[in-house]
């Protein structure tokens, strides 16, 4: 594993870290034993940062991470998110009372006195224009409830606005072969301000593993079935918001560039690591095999300019026109 600076926190984080949404819920049933084994395997492979949220399985994901902490002696970071338990999910809901209540619940779920880092969980855009929300987070840092805070955003514009607040330490954003706009202005600004960047949905919800086809079937409790058109939350969170058949077409073209001995999932992860502004990427994994394969992408050699240009051409000819302007 290689480690990268995480903004101004002084943390060195594993460049392949772990996304703990799927072990919580919304991706079909994941057995507890598989989930715990995936977490242990990630740690064994040198992963030292786990991204979760209070909403993932309504606390299930956080509780699994608390169990991991009990079962292991080494240090690692658990970063969580708050806000998505609001119903309705409105900007007004991001107030002192609710944020404090959510943080207290995560402290309990994670069995700790201080949360390593709390992210606002893709709040409505309006929240970024309310300095008082960031003031509440500052107060929670002062009170010792949280060590640092950051944001998880849908759009580049939200990311750019969020990092104007001086104590925002990190931005989590969708960045993958099918979602490239963050690498333009946002990455430059994040580097300039020394803000940690977490690249989420790195496998485009599994599409960039190359394992899906027209015949793939997803369960009713899998967002790849029930959120295909943004029915439950932002459509960009499911297959990066790229049409399923178009994604399959692009994957077929990308497949030809994957060097021997490398899986397509590892190719997609290694591509993300080519960007210095990225502190880490957080692929989701449902079992130890996926966790191991993903972590091992960190061992692969950097890509040549030739490979990067070929990937770029696929993006520009098939994907860019459909989605580049949306997020
Ligand atoms: N709003 C937010 O803040 C937000 C939104 C989305 C995600 N996130 C964070 O970002 C993390 C990553 O994104 P994501 O989980 O949505 O998508 P992802 O990492 O692009 O895809 C994860 C899925 O791909 C499949 N997979 C993973 N590794 C594989 C491998 N080596 N071989 C084959 N299949 C593999 C697994 O599902 P199957 O085996 O079922 O195919 C897994 O659940 C999340 O876990 C979460 O921590 C945050």
182 falls in which pLDDT band (50, 70, 90)? very high
Alpha-carbon distance of 3 to 22, in angstroms, equals 24
- Tens of pLDDT along 183-202? 999 999 999 999 999 999 99
Six token digits for residue 297: 């992408």
Alpha-carbon distance of 112 to 62, in angstroms, equals 11
Ligand 1 binding pocket mutation candidate from 27, 54, 174, 290 (most atoms within 8 A of CB): 290
Mean of the per-residue pLDDT values of the chain? 97
Six token digits for residue 281: 């990427």
Closest CA to 269 of 195, 176, 130, 139: 176
DSSP letter string over 253-303? HHHTTPPTT--HHHHHHHHHHT-TT--EE--B-SSHHHHHHHHGGGGSPPP
Closest CA to 159 of 175, 135, 143, 139: 175
In this predicted structure, what is the pLDDT of residue 257? Answer: 95
**Regarding beta strands 49-51 and 146-152, do their DSSP bridges make them parallel or antiparallel, or are they unpaired?**
unpaired
Mean pLDDT on 287-312: 97
Return the residue whose CA atom lies nearest to atom 24 of ligand 1.
206
User: Residue 206 C-alpha to ligand 1 middle, in angstroms?
Assistant: 6
Ligand 1 pocket: which residues have CB below 6 Å? 19-22, 27, 51, 81, 121-122, 152, 172, 200-206, 209, 211, 237, 265, 282-286, 290, 293-294
- Tens of pLDDT along 141-169? 999 999 999 999 999 999 999 999 999 99
């Amino acid at each position: 594993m290689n480690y990268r600076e995480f903004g101004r926190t002084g943390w060195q984080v594993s460049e392949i870290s772990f996304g703990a949404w799927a072990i919580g819920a919304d991706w079909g049933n994941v057995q507890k034993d598989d989930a715990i084994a995936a977490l242990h395997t990630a740690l064994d492979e040198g992963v030292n940062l786990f991204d979760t949220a209070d909403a993932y399985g309504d606390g299930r994901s956080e509780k699994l991470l608390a169990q991991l902490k009990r079962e292991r002696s080494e240090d690692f970071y658990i970063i969580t998110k708050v806000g998505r338990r609001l119903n309705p999910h409105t900007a007004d809901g991001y107030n002192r009372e609710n944020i404090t209540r959510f943080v207290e619940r995560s402290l309990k779920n994670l069995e700790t006195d201080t949360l390593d880092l709390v992210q606002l969980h893709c709040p409505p855009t309006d929240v970024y224009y309310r300095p008082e929300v960031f003031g509440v987070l500052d107060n929670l840092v002062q009170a010792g409830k949280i060590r640092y805070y950051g944001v998880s955003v849908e759009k580049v514009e939200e990311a750019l606005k969020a990092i104007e607040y001086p104590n925002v330490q990190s931005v989590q954003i969708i960045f993958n072969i099918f979602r490239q706009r963050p690498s333009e202005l946002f990455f430059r600004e994040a580097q300039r301000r020394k803000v940690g960047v977490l690249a989420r949905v790195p496998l485009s919800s599994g599409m960039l593993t190359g394992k899906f086809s027209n015949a793939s079937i997803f369960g009713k409790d899998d967002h790849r079935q029930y959120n295909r058109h943004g029915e439950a939350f932002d459509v960009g969170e499911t297959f990066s918001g790229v049409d399923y058949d178009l994604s399959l077409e692009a994957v077929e073209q990308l497949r030809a560039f994957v060097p021997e001995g490398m899986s397509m999932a590892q190719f997609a992860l290694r591509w993300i690591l080519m960007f210095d502004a990225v502190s880490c990427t957080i692929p989701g994994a449902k079992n130890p095999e996926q966790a191991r394969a993903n972590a091992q992408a960190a061992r692969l050699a950097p890509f040549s300019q030739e490979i990067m240009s070929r990937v770029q051409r696929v993006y520009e000819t098939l994907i860019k026109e459909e989605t580049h302007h949306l997020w």
